[in-house]
Structure 1
Amino acid sequence: MKSLSIIIPVSIAMPLAMGLATGCAVSDSAGEVTSTAATRSPDPLLPGLGNDGYDARAYDLNFDVGAKSRTVDGTATMTAQAHKPLARFGMDFAGGTVHSVSVDARPARFQAKGQKLVVVPARGLDRGLFRVTVRYTADRDAKVPSTVDPSAGWGDTGGGGFAWWGQPDRAHLFFPCNDDLTDKAIFRYRVTVPNGWTAIANGTQTSRSIKADRTTMVYSSQHPMATQLAQLAVGRFKIVQGQGPHGLPLRSAVPAGSTIANLQRLPEYLTWLENKIGRRYPFEAAGVLGVSGSPPEQTFALETQTLPIFTASDLSDSQEIVHELAHQWFGDSAGVKTWSDLWLSEGFASYLDQMWAAEHGGTPLDTAMRKAYQGDQKIRSMGITPARPRRADAMFGVSRGVGPLVLYALRQKVGDAGFQQIVGTYFDRYRDRSASTADFMAVAHRVAGPQMDDFLHDWLYESKTPPMPGHPDW
Structure 2
Amino acid sequence: MAGKSPRSPFPLSRALAAFSLVGALGACQALSGDGDGGPTPGPTGADSAGDPYVPGDGNGGYDVQHYRLKLAITPRDARELDGTAEITARATQPLSRFDLDLADLNVSSVTVNGRAARQRHDGEELVVTPERPLERGATFTTVVRYSGRPKTINDPQLGTYGWVRTSDGVFVACQPSGAHTWFPSNDHPSDKATFDFEITVPDGLTAIANGLPDRMPQGQEPGRPTPTTTPTTPAPTTGTPGVVPASHRRSTTTTWRVREPMATYLATVNVGRFAIRTGRTPSGVPVLSAVDPTLPSVSLAEFHDRNTRVTEELAKLFGPYPFGSTGGLVDNAAVNFALETQTRPVYGAFGADQTIIAHELAHQWFGDSVSVSRWQDIWLNEGFATYAEWIWGERIGLRTVQQQFDERYQDPGNTDLWNVPPGNPGRNEMFGSSVYERGGMTLHMLRKKVGDAKFFDILRTWARERRHGTGTTPQFVEVAERVSGQRLDAFFKAWLFDRGRPAL
Q: Which residue number in structure 2 is paired with residue 14 of structure 1?
A: none
| Alignment check: 8 A CA contact 1:25 1:110 kept | no
Post-superposition CA distance 1:363-392 (Å, at most 9, x none): 22212101222459833653x211010234
Q: Which residue number in structure 1 is paired with residue 386 of structure 2?
A: 350
Letter aligned with residue 333 of structure 1: S
Deviation at 1:237, TM superposition (A): 1.4
Aligned partner of 1:86 among 67, 82, 95? 95
Runs of 5+ consecutive residues of structure 1 not aligned to the other structure: 10-21, 37-41, 469-474
Q: Which residue number in structure 1 is paired with residue 312 of structure 2?
A: 271
**Matches of 1:332 and 1:266, distance apart in 2:** 16
Whether 1:309 aligns to 2:350 is: no
Letter aligned with residue 140 of structure 2: F
| Alignment check: 8 A CA contact 1:146 1:169 kept | no
| Alignment check: 8 A CA contact 1:193 1:216 kept | yes
**Matches of 2:9 and 2:232, distance apart in 1:** 50
| Alignment check: 8 A CA contact 1:49 1:169 kept | yes
Whether 1:339 aligns to 2:375 is: yes
Letter aligned with residue 70 of structure 2: N
Q: Which residue number in structure 1 is paired with residue 167 of structure 2?
A: 158
The alignment yields a C-alpha RMSD, in angstroms, of 2.3
Deviation at 1:361, TM superposition (A): 2.3
Whether 1:245 aligns to 2:297 is: no
| Alignment check: 8 A CA contact 1:77 1:133 kept | yes
Post-superposition CA distance 1:9-48 (Å, at most 9, x none): 9xxxxxxxxxxxx9826768xx974332xxxxx1131131
Q: Which residue number in structure 1 is paired with residue 475 of structure 2?
A: 439
Aligned partner of 1:35 among 38, 48, 58? 48
Deviation at 1:351, TM superposition (A): 0.4
What does residue range 40-439 of structure 1 map to in structure 2 within 5 Å?
42-66=50-74, 68-70=76-78, 71-127=80-136, 128-140=138-150, 142=151, 146=155, 148-149=157-158, 151-159=160-168, 161-206=169-214, 208=228, 209-212=230-233, 213-256=250-293, 259-262=299-302, 263-277=304-318, 279-295=319-335, 299-315=336-352, 317-374=353-410, 378-379=415-416, 382=419, 384-439=420-475
Matched residue of 2:132: which SS? Answer: coil
Segments of 4+ moved more than 6 angstroms: 5-9
Post-superposition CA distance 1:144-195 (Å, at most 9, x none): 5646435211112222x11211110111001000001211100000011122
Q: Percent identity?
A: 38
**Matches of 2:195 and 2:348, distance apart in 1:** 24
Deviation at 1:397, TM superposition (A): 3.1
Q: TM-score, normalised by structure 2?
A: 0.83
Q: Which residue number in structure 1 is paired with residue 220 of structure 2?
A: none
**Matches of 2:38 and 2:210, distance apart in 1:** 35
Matched residue of 1:459: which SS? Answer: helix
Post-superposition CA distance 1:39-77 (Å, at most 9, x none): xxx113113111010111100000112254152110111
Deviation at 1:466, TM superposition (A): 2.3
| Alignment check: 8 A CA contact 2:207 2:272 kept | yes
Distance 1:429 1:361, change over 3 A: same
**Matches of 1:397 and 1:406, distance apart in 2:** 13
Whether 1:454 aligns to 2:490 is: yes
Q: Which moved more, 1:393-402 or 1:142-151?
A: 142-151
Matched residue of 1:158: which SS? Answer: coil
Deviation at 1:89, TM superposition (A): 0.4
**Matches of 2:10 and 2:367, distance apart in 1:** 20
Runs of 5+ consecutive residues of structure 2 not aligned to the other structure: 12-33, 216-227, 234-249
Q: Which moved more, 1:70-79 or 1:249-258?
A: 249-258
Deviation at 1:393, TM superposition (A): 4.1
Matched residue of 1:134: which SS? Answer: strand
Matched residue of 1:265: which SS? Answer: helix
Matched residue of 2:55: which SS? Answer: coil
Deviation at 1:95, TM superposition (A): 2.3
Letter aligned with residue 303 of structure 1: E
Matched residue of 1:35: which SS? Answer: coil
**Matches of 1:444 and 1:283, distance apart in 2:** 24
Matched residue of 1:408: which SS? Answer: helix
Deviation at 1:283, TM superposition (A): 0.6
**Matches of 1:46 and 1:243, distance apart in 2:** 38
Matched residue of 1:446: which SS? Answer: helix
Matched residue of 1:418: which SS? Answer: helix
Q: Which moved more, 1:432-441 or 1:251-260?
A: 251-260
Deviation at 1:272, TM superposition (A): 2.1
Count matched residues.
441
**Matches of 1:378 and 1:200, distance apart in 2:** 41
Distance 1:8 1:352, change over 3 A: closer
| Alignment check: 8 A CA contact 2:158 2:428 kept | no
Letter aligned with residue 473 of structure 2: T
| Alignment check: 8 A CA contact 1:147 1:392 kept | no
